[in-house]
Structures are given as structure tokens and as C-alpha cells.
Chains A and B, each alone.
Chain A
Amino acid sequence: MWPHRRVVELVTDELIPVRVHVRDHADEFRRLGDRYDARWTPMILVLDSSGEERHRVEGFLPVDELVPQLEFGLGRVAFSRGDFEDAERRFRQIVEDAPASDVAPEALYWAGVARYKSTDDAEALKATASAFHDRYQETTWAKKASVWD
């Protein structure tokens, strides 16, 4: 999955890639595994620039799922630094570009939260609940958004 062009472009443009290998970097694997509670491979973490974990993917994913997961991690990084407009843009892009991906419903939820945080307008939450009427109805995220109806 890593040599795929979309993955390479995204990682190269937006992230600093660091790999620790269970055997080739055994000491580092143990040290960072303890620090981030990483007990299984493959596992990827998106860390913000201070090293705080913002998103984790445990286990293999095909490219069509991995790319939106990486985008989602970047959205969470933006959200955590309080850049809610950037976070919303990233979350909405996932829903638009990868609507069938597993992370899309979660992205739709957080897009609404990010809009609310940037505008302080509760209509953003209501609109998000409404959006879940049309899609992803069987997901946890639709249930979570239903309180905003």
C-alpha cells in the first residue's frame, strides 16, 4: 500500500514519515511502543508537531481506505490546534472524495463539529444531523449526531 502514488504524495506533502521496524529497530520499537501503546503491526499513528497522537490505524488497510484515514488524521491534527476551518475542509473532502470509506461517517460528524466550533452556530450541528438522514444511517456517528436533531 505504501508505494501507491496517492499515498506517497499525501505522506510526502503533508507529513514527516518515520518507520520503526519490530526487528531492525528493536530498541526503538520497544521505546516508542511503550510511549504510544503500540502492541501490534502494522500500526500507523498520526502525531501532531509536538508528538501527541491524534489518530491511529491498527492493522492493514487497502489504499482506498488508507488515504481517507490519513486525511482524517490530518483533520484531527488541525482540529486539535484549533484550526477548525482547515479541519472542516479536510473532513468534508473525505466525505466528498471517499464517501464509501469506513471513516467517511466519522468525518461527516467531525465536519459538523468543526463548523460549529468555527462559527459558534448551532445550526451547523442541526445540519449535520440532517445530513445523516440521507446517508450512513446505520453507523454510530449517525446515532451520535441524532441528539442534534
Chain B
Amino acid sequence: MEIRWSHDFDRELERAREAGKPILLDFSAAPM
């Protein structure tokens, strides 16, 4: 069970606007 992170902020912001859903923006330096 994992979070399915997106890396396309602009696309997700557009989706958030359409869906009225908030965004969790993670600034990370952890190994991916």
C-alpha cells in the first residue's frame, strides 16, 4: 500500500481546481 505520487504539479493543480480537492505538496530529498 503506497501513495501514488504525481510529479506534475501544474496538471494536478488543474485537476484540483476541477475537483475542488486539496493538494499535498511534498518537497523531498529522500531516495526515490
For the A-B complex, the count of residue pairs with Cβ-Cβ distances under 8 Å equals 127
A-contact bits for B10-27, CB 8 A (1 contact / 0 none): 001101110111111111
**Would A16 and B7 be within 8 Å (CB), given that A21-B32, A22-B28, A29-B27 are in contact?**
no
Which DSSP category, helix, strand, loop or mixed, fits chain A's interface? mixed
CB neighbours of A18 from chain B (8 A):
5-9, 12, 23-26
Chain B interface residue count, Cβ-Cβ cutoff 8 angstroms: 27
In the bound complex, do residue A48 and residue B22 qualify as a contact, i.e. CB atoms below 8 Å apart?
yes
Interface 9-residue window, one of A33-41, A115-123, A126-134, A139-147: A33-41
In the bound complex, do residue A51 and residue B3 qualify as a contact, i.e. CB atoms below 8 Å apart?
no
**Would A41 and B27 be within 8 Å (CB), given that A16-B6, A51-B13 are in contact?**
yes
In the bound complex, do residue B17 and residue A42 qualify as a contact, i.e. CB atoms below 8 Å apart?
no
In chain A, residues 1-43, which have Cβ atoms closer than 8 Å to a Cβ of chain B?
2-3, 5, 7-8, 11-12, 14-25, 28-29, 32-33, 36, 38, 40-43
| Residues in B lying within 8 Å of A, measured CB to CB | 1-9, 12-13, 15-17, 19-30, 32
